[in-house]
Structure 1
Amino acid sequence: MKLSNTPVDSLMMFDRQIFIKRDDLLHPEFSGNKARKFAYFLAHDFPGAKKLIGYGSPQANSLYSMSALAKLKGWTLDFYVDHIAAQVKSQTEGNYVEACANGANVIDLSERHDREGRSCEEYIKEKALIDETQALFVPEGGRCEYAEFGVAQLAREIVDWAVQANLEQLKVFLPSGTGTTALFLNKYFIESGSNIRVLTCACVGGDEYLNLQFTQLSQFKTFYPEIISLPKKYHFGKLYRECYEMWQRIDKQGIRFELLYDPVGWIALEAYLKSASEQTSIIYIHQGGLLGNASMLPRYKRKFG
């Protein structure tokens, strides 16, 4: 099971060479940032654990990866969601379908009479965890201290590659949801004395929301990555023509990306490079998550052709 040491390729975008850390080539059940975030759980034993509990979107990459983790470890998985749309239930492929095939118990809180206005996280902490003595709770998107274990390995790989490539100036870019990977990468670079720094953009909730996520992971602002503000507000999961067109531009370069985070990431990176004065080398972290394209790509094709 390949969970580290991915190659670095490159492509030409925005009239310059962009390096790509190919984390999409990790094991398909844990590809991209989920492989890094869940590496701790794969590398360690949890003798008292029998269940994994998480929450998020029914189409999230984390749902599928957590289902694969639970199956591998012999655990059950309870995954809480706000709502499961009819179109999601009718799909024949994608994260939700594959997670259910792995035995995931996806719990729709809109059908729970005792929800009483609670968010997924609140419901889990106030209701679900009360009687669970053998469960491991993983916050949305793997936003927890366990993620630092695998992200540090990713950071070491980047440092080693930069030395081999003789790059004295390097910036790492990746789009963010909870910002977990971006923060722990930047933290490692700073603590190890490297001059590599992390750039990111907010794909969920905007810059203020992303900064809030950083505060829940570390109280030290020196570790926070630089957030690139987007040219416009993008609502998470909504379809935008420019996102589809950006995805198609990258796809023509021969490396396929997912359609939820990466198009927004590339739009942000283009805006940054247009305004940046220095010619620092950029390495883009491929987020994996290509299984989600099974549901996203048909939506884009229906809307934009």
Structure 2
Amino acid sequence: MWVKRDDLLHPEVSGNKFRKLKYPLLAWQDRHPTWVSMGGPWSNHLHALAHAGALGGWPTKALVRGAPGMQSATLDDCRRLGMQVSFVSRDDYRQLREDPQAWRRHLDTVDDKHVWLPEGGSSPQALRGVAELVDELPFIPEVIMVACGTGATLAGILAGLRGRSRVVGIAVLKNADYLRQEIADLLLQAGYPAYQNYELITDAHHGGYGKAPPELRQFCREFSAACDLPIEPVYTGKLFHALKKMQQAQAFGDDDRVLAIHTGGMQGARGFAEASLIPPQV
């Protein structure tokens, strides 16, 4: 088994967030944009966007699911980096997902320099950056495994593989069958074929997005210590826990080379009471 350490791509903008932001940001870098996006109070995407905005000199605004006054270390970082944070209700947040123009109603002023980035940075343009991951590999393994939140990282890997190998996505949220359509739509919108060489595992979410029962937290601690590889319960912990279960079930062929993608996101581990027991990497 191999691990692609995308958590080491950049000291602040790590993992799949770096890759998903790369080409949307490059396309606008000379036009002085104001970036607007959405996320939860521990969002890796908003954390990465705030850092990218500070580095590029671009204003950033976040529409955060939660009550006014909600605090988190992630939001503290975002504000310190200059991001303007506003809170929206769960109903409004759902509308932001469903209506690509809904964000405009939450800003006092909007002009043609305001640019919207969907939740998780999961735009069709993001796939190009993720696809570059494949060209960095020393070989094409028989199986690539990755955690899935919005499906964009998996779709980008499929784009880079161009029909080769098999991708196994570990959905980190409940009722994730809809991600198959999200993946198909992203590939279509980004101009790629409708690749089908993937499997989506939907029963390894440990209770849903952001849920981290004691068994999973214990696994993260033990895995991090044994492998000297920091993981967290929201994404990578669920990925490597599922990988272990699949190995135990002999789900891979004897000659299969299995590569897991570490997508970063260690800053989000601060959202758990036992975060201090998980090696930090922010």
SS in 1 for 2:272: helix
Task: Deviation per CA, 1:86-144: give whole Å up to 9, x if none.
Answer: 6x51x4xx322111110111110139xxx878623443155549833111111000111
* Percent identity of paired positions between Structure 1 and Structure 2: 24
Distance 1:268 1:51, change over 3 A: same
Alignment-mate amino acid for residue 212 of structure 2: L
Q: CA RMSD in A?
A: 2.8
Deviation at 1:267, TM superposition (A): 2.4
Residue 53 of structure 1: how far off its partner (Å): 0.5
Q: 1:132 to 1:298 in 2, by over 3 A?
A: farther
What is aligned with 1:211?
180
1:300 Cα deviation from its structure 2 partner: 9.0
Structure 2: runs of 5+ lacking an equivalent: 278-282
- Residue 184 of structure 1 is matched in structure 2 by 156
SS in 2 for 1:230: coil
For 1:125 and 1:154, locate their aligned partners in 2 and report how far apart those are by CA, in whole Å.
33
Q: Is 2:241 aligned against 1:262?
A: no
User: Would you say 1:142 and 2:116 are equivalent positions?
Assistant: no
Alignment of 1:175-254 (within 5 A): 175-190=147-162, 195-219=164-188, 220-223=193-196, 225-230=198-203, 234-252=207-225, 253-254=227-228
Contact 1:67/1:102 (<8 A) preserved: yes
- Residue in 2 aligned with 1:283? 259
SS of alignment partner, residue 145 of structure 2: strand
Tell me: CA distance 1:68–1:117, structure 2 relative to 1, closer, same or farther (3 Å). Answer: closer
Cα displacement (A) at 1:282:
1.0
Among 45, 54, 78, the alignment partner of 1:71 is 54
Given that 1:49 and 1:135 are in contact with CA atoms closer than 8 Å, whether structure 2 keeps it comes out as no
Alignment: residue pair count: 267
CA contact (8 A) 1:58 1:106 kept: no
Distance (whole Å) between structure 1 residues aligned to residue 113 and residue 47 of structure 2 = 21
Gaps of 5+ in 1: 1-17
Amino acid at match of 1:151: V
The CA deviation at 1:71 is 1.4
Tell me how far apart the structure 2 counterparts of residues 98 and 117 of structure 1 sit (CA, whole Å). 22
- Tell me the distance in 1 between the aligned counterparts of 2:11 and 2:81: 14
Distance in 2, matches of 1:62 and 1:214, equals: 18
CA contact 1:34–1:142 (8 Å) conserved in 2: yes
Q: Tell me, in whole angstroms, the C-alpha distance in 2 between the residues paired with 1:21 and 1:197.
A: 16
Moved more, 278-287 or 182-191: 182-191
- Listed as ranges, the matches of 1:104-143 within 5 Å are 104-110=83-89, 119-121=95-97, 122=99, 123-125=102-104, 128=107, 131-143=110-122
Q: Quick check: 1:214–1:224 contact (8 Å CA) kept in 2?
A: no
TM-score between both structures, scaled by the size of structure 1: 0.78
